Amino acid sequence: MNLARPQMLYLLLLLPAAALFLWVSARAARRSLAKFGNPLFLS
């Protein structure tokens, strides 16, 4: 298959990895806030 911009295909493959990174970092932030008390009061 001949694509006009094959670099865009590689960038598209990075989207799931970026979403996974954001999910893991948000989860870690929630867990670290939970160490100090109720997350509803701290955010």
33 burial type by CB count under 10 A (0-12 exposed, 13-18 middle, 19+ buried): middle
Q: Which of 18, 17, 42 is nearest to 29 (CA)?
A: 42
pTM for the full predicted model: 0.64
Greatest alpha-carbon pair distance for the chain in Å reads: 55
pLDDT in tens, 13-43: 899 999 999 999 999 988 888 887 776 776 5
Q: Does 1 score more than 70 pLDDT?
A: no
Q: Which two tokens stand for residue 27?
A: 């989860």
Distance between CA atoms of residues 17 and 21, nearest Å: 6
